[in-house]
């Protein structure tokens, strides 16, 4: 039973961001507590209040935001997590995590957590198949980070190719398998 398990949902700036709403709804209906960490770029697509209303929890954004109570947020979020799920995950966030770059709240949480990390990429097919992106994914997999692979579908550019966020049901199933 997953009741009471804490999922930190990292949301990055992909056109598939709207599916994060469905992920929150589904995880919540399965008994998970969902806390969203939103990258600054993702805020250009969607406002944090939507995720707050869906999850019932505060949405965390900037690493230097003033906390409501004194705490080192990236560490407290990392310790709270039973799982860190990044969906949708851009090539940028995958590259930063693979390189150990901690320049935003989400990358700091990933670096500080001992919980499993599950990444579900969503990007243009050329970006996904790029050798650098594939090397970053291979590196992260070798370090124990799990992936829900993207699927073939209509991309933001209008072409059909691999790079669409996996089906929400597939992502939820993998979260439940891990926890």
Q: What are phi and psi of 166, to 5 degrees?
A: -55, 160
Percent of the chain with pLDDT over 70: 92
Q: CA–CA separation, 24 vs 128, rounded Å? A: 25
pLDDT digit string, tens, across residues 45-61: 999 999 999 999 999 99
pLDDT digit string, tens, across residues 24-40: 999 999 999 999 999 99
Query: What residue segments make up the domains of the chain, in order of their start?
Result: 6-178
148 Cβ contact list (under 8 Å, min separation 6):
87, 118, 119, 120, 166, 170, 171, 174
The per-residue pLDDT for 2 is 56
The per-residue pLDDT for 70 is 44
The per-residue pLDDT for 64 is 57
For residues 66-75, average pLDDT:
56
Q: CA–CA separation, 86 vs 8, rounded Å? A: 8
pLDDT-based confidence at 1, cuts 50/70/90? very low
Catalytic positions: 157
Q: Give me the CATH topology for the region 6-178.
A: Rossmann fold (3.40.50)
pLDDT at 72 over 60: no
């Amino acid at each position: 039973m997953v009741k009471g398990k804490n999922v930190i949902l990292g949301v990055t700036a992909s056109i598939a961001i709207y599916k994060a709403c469905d992920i929150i709804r589904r995880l919540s209906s399965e008994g998970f507590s969902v806390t969203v960490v939103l990258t600054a770029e993702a805020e250009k697509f969607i406002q944090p209040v939507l995720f707050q209303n869906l999850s019932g929890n505060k949405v965390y954004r900037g690493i230097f935001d003033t906390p409501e109570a004194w705490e080192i947020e990236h560490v407290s979020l990392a310790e709270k997590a039973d799982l860190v799920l990044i969906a949708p995950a851009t090539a940028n966030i995958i590259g930063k995590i693979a390189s150990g770059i901690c320049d935003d709240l989400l990358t700091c949480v990933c670096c500080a957590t001992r919980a499993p990390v599950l990444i579900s990429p969503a990007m243009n097919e050329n970006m996904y198949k790029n050798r650098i992106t594939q090397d970053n994914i291979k590196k992260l997999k070798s370090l124990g980070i799990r992936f829900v692979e993207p699927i073939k579908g209509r991309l933001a550019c209008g072409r059909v190719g691999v790079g669409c966020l996996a089906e929400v049901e597939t992502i939820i199933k993998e979260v439940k398998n891990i926890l």
